[in-house]
Amino acid sequence: MQTCDYIVVGAGSAGSAVANRLSADPRNKVLLLEAGRASHPWSFIPIGMARLITNPEANWLYSSEPEASTNCRRLPVPRGKLLGGSSSINGMVFVRGQAQDFDTWAQMGNRGWSYSEVLPFFKRMESYAGEGDDAFRGREGPLRVTNPEPHDPLFATIIKAAAQVGIQHNPDYNGVSQEGVAMSQATIAGGRRMSTARCYLDPVRNRWNLQIETKALTEGLVLDGKRCTGVRYSVGGEVREARAARAVVVSAGAFNSPQLLELSGIGQPERLRNLGIEVRHELPGVGENLRDHYVPRTRWLVGKKGITFNDRARGLGLAHQVLRYALFRQGMLAMTGAPIRAFVCSREGLEAPDLMLGWIPMLFEPSPRGPKISRQSGLTLYAHAMRPESKGSVHITAADARRPPAINFNFLSSPPDAELTVRAVRIARSIMTAPAMTPLQVSETAPGADRTTDETRSSIGLRRPQKPPTTRWAPARWGPIRWQSSMPNFVSMALRACGSPMPRSCRRWHRAIPTHRRS
Ligand SMILES: Cc1cc2nc3c(=O)[nH]c(=O)nc-3n(C[C@H](O)[C@H](O)[C@H](O)COP(=O)(O)OP(=O)(O)OC[C@H]3O[C@@H](n4cnc5c(N)ncnc54)[C@H](O)[C@@H]3O)c2cc1C
């Protein structure tokens, strides 16, 4: 049996960073366990996202349970399954949380989570290459972030159109204010995806005190009473056990972390007993308070030739893009999927934006191998509320780590979510029909210009959707860390499982967590 100081389960966005920081102290021996493979060739090239979105070699390929708001269809829920986790397959758009969100958490009693307290960690995380105020941006962190210039005539036109409806250009939405229209900042540098595997693990692979095991599926936590002392994991069918003297960090993502707790007997007693799992620690909040963004997409045909990526990615145009990427690491293949976005307020008087719009400079269609570029030329524009109130859950359905959990988003169960989504779509339309867009000869195909008021609701999927929307694939959070909630949370302010005692030897790790005074 292996022994170490810390075991980190899941080498995704969080786990890779945690393993890097913990192993920076040579006194800590760290074991990082990842269920997926070490890498995938498509994970290095930004456009490769399209190849990974339906690829079982690098993706858990979960789907949601059928529910009324999705017309009883299952929505795909991709999750990265390789080093870097979802940061190795995601859209690479870099958006930090709003200052107001963190301050609200702090007001709810979460010490250490106010914006001024988390800002130093955001700065420490990044090497930001764009223009911006160094009071808000970091220049020397491991994660490389770039901010493209809006040189492309399509993006310049969208920025002009947004200004015509009162949405100003904000060159750094991760700076003093988020509000405005801007090019999407990206975890892309030198035309390469900057996953956490690349930025946090690659530079420290030769540390003697960091051991990374891939294709290692953690199947359960080893508990001594309510204290976690290790993990049980399998590699190639062989079951192994590892012990941690200080702590086990569960960073297996929004769906697999609660799955692992439940498999280990931590969660809602009745649910666990029904699956034949011995209850080790009653924590009713495990798997609850799941939130994600409900994201309808509007579709627009563009009459002017050569403007959209549908035109530019065909025939000779595609050859040009491939050559441009090969020679200069630039162009369409080196960009995020949604290179331009806007953060807007749904009404006057708000302190911070509550809606987001994102433009994908092409129309695409689903295909078995992932999204396929459509033959028509156009734009896809998604529009959604940023702080969904609807809450769902994720729970295991069997005592088996290989069985996908049941994901229920419960989208639009909170009435304001539908109302805000409609407002977001209206703002999207106002930008797309602003005078600056006229030369592009833009026309709406979905939901359709004739769909207004209540019809808009049903056609964008708020009542009886014909086409299901997608999610942002970025679960908002496990609910704010809200102590007064009717469903208690399962982690403390220091992100430890509630009720789990902390060994004295764990104080050093605990100090690394951004809290001021700890209970
Ligand atoms: C397709 C897609 C597009 C996205 N686009 C963006 C974007 O543009 N911008 C943005 O900010 N966010 C985006 N997101 C969301 C963002 O990537 C995630 O919120 C973030 O990566 C989550 O980090 P995490 O560490 O919680 O989980 P993950 O990064 O998913 O890491 C979890 C890791 O744990 C591993 N694991 C799970 N279970 C086990 C187990 N039992 N044993 C061992 N290992 C296990 C997984 O294989 C995975 O590597 C996107 C997500 C997806 C999927």
Reading the chain (519 residues) residue by residue, the pLDDT tens digits are: 899 999 999 999 999 999 999 999 999 999 999 999 999 999 999 999 989 999 999 999 999 999 887 788 899 999 999 999 999 999 999 999 999 999 999 999 998 999 999 999 999 999 999 999 999 999 999 999 999 998 899 999 999 999 999 999 999 999 999 999 999 999 999 999 999 999 999 999 999 999 999 999 999 999 999 999 999 999 999 999 999 999 999 999 999 999 999 999 999 999 999 999 999 999 999 999 999 999 989 999 999 999 999 998 888 888 999 999 999 999 999 999 899 999 999 999 999 999 999 999 999 887 777 678 899 999 999 999 999 999 999 999 999 999 999 999 999 999 999 999 999 999 999 999 999 999 999 999 988 877 775 555 555 555 444 444 566 555 644 333 333 344 456 677 667 776 666 555 444 444 444 333 333
Strands 30-33 and 266-267, by their bridges, are unpaired
Q: How far apart, in whole angstroms, are the C-alpha atoms of residue 404 and residue 417? A: 27
At residue 71, the pLDDT reads 80
At residue 474, the pLDDT reads 59
Dihedral sign, Cα of residue 335, residue 337, residue 341, residue 343: negative
Q: How far apart, in whole angstroms, are the C-alpha atoms of residue 246 and residue 506? A: 5
Whether 92 is in the pocket of ligand 1, judged by its Cβ within 6 Å, is: yes
Alpha helices per DSSP H over 126-238: 153-164, 196
Q: What is the pLDDT of residues 321-378, one digit of tens each?
A: 999 999 999 999 999 989 999 999 999 999 999 999 999 999 988 777 767 889 999 9
Whether 405 is in the pocket of ligand 1, judged by its Cβ within 6 Å, is: no
Query: For residue 404, what are the CA distances in angstroms to 67, 189, 191, 324, 494?
Result: 17, 34, 34, 41, 28
Q: How far apart, in whole angstroms, are the C-alpha atoms of residue 345 and residue 348? A: 7
Q: Are 483 and 89 in contact (CB under 8 A)?
A: no
- Count other Cβ atoms within 10 Å, centred on residue 256: 27
Instruction: Report helix, strand or coil for 392.
Output: strand
Cα atoms in the 13 Å half-sphere on the side-chain side of 222: 15
φ and ψ of 174, to 5 deg: -95, 15
Query: For residue 228, what are the CA distances in angstroms to 31, 322, 395, 460, 503?
Result: 15, 50, 21, 46, 10
φ and ψ of 146, to 5 deg: -120, 160
Ligand 1 pocket check: which of 90, 96, 184, 263 to mutate, most ligand atoms within 8 Å of Cβ?
A: 90
Strands 30-33 and 2-9, by their bridges, are parallel
> In angstroms, what is the span from residue 290 Cα to ligand 1's centroid?
15
User: What is the model's pTM?
Assistant: 0.91
At residue 501, the pLDDT reads 64
> In angstroms, what is the span from residue 375 Cα to ligand 1's centroid?
32
Produce one character per residue of 214-244: b if its CB has 16 or more CB atoms within 10 Å, e if not: bebbbbbbbbeeebbbbbbbbeeeeeeebeb
At residue 31, the pLDDT reads 98
Q: How far apart, in whole angstroms, are the C-alpha atoms of residue 93 and residue 182? A: 12
Token pair, residue 56, equals 């079982």
> In angstroms, what is the span from residue 38 Cα to ligand 1's centroid?
15
Q: Name the residue with the closest Cα to ligand 1, atom 3.
A: 90
Cis peptide leading into residue 361 (ω within 30°): no
Radius of gyration of the CA atoms of the chain, in A:
23
Produce one character per residue of 436-448: b if its CB has 16 or more CB atoms within 10 Å, e if not: bbeebebebebbe
Q: Are 501 and 244 in contact (CB under 8 A)?
A: no
Q: How far apart, in whole angstroms, are the C-alpha atoms of residue 451 and residue 453? A: 7
Token pair 């994901």: residue: 407
Q: How far apart, in whole angstroms, are the C-alpha atoms of residue 259 and residue 253? A: 10
Q: How far apart, in whole angstroms, are the C-alpha atoms of residue 344 and residue 181? A: 8
Whether 16 is in the pocket of ligand 1, judged by its Cβ within 6 Å, is: no
Whether 490 is in the pocket of ligand 1, judged by its Cβ within 6 Å, is: no
Residue 59 Cα: closest atom of ligand 1: 47
Dihedral sign, Cα of residue 87, residue 90, residue 91, residue 96: negative
- Count other Cβ atoms within 10 Å, centred on residue 197: 26
Q: Name the residue with the closest Cα to ligand 1, atom 31.
A: 12
Give 69: exposed, middle or buried? Use CB within 10 Å, 0-12, 13-18, 19+: buried
Ligand 1 pocket check: which of 9, 61, 86, 195 to mutate, most ligand atoms within 8 Å of Cβ?
A: 86
Q: Are 396 and 263 in contact (CB under 8 A)?
A: yes
Q: How far apart, in whole angstroms, are the C-alpha atoms of residue 364 and residue 309? A: 10
Q: How far apart, in whole angstroms, are the C-alpha atoms of residue 179 and residue 345? A: 8
At residue 453, the pLDDT reads 59
The DSSP annotation for 401-465 comes to TTSPPEEE--TT-SHHHHHHHHHHHHHHHHHHTSGGGGGG-EEEEETTTT--HHHHHHHTTSSS-
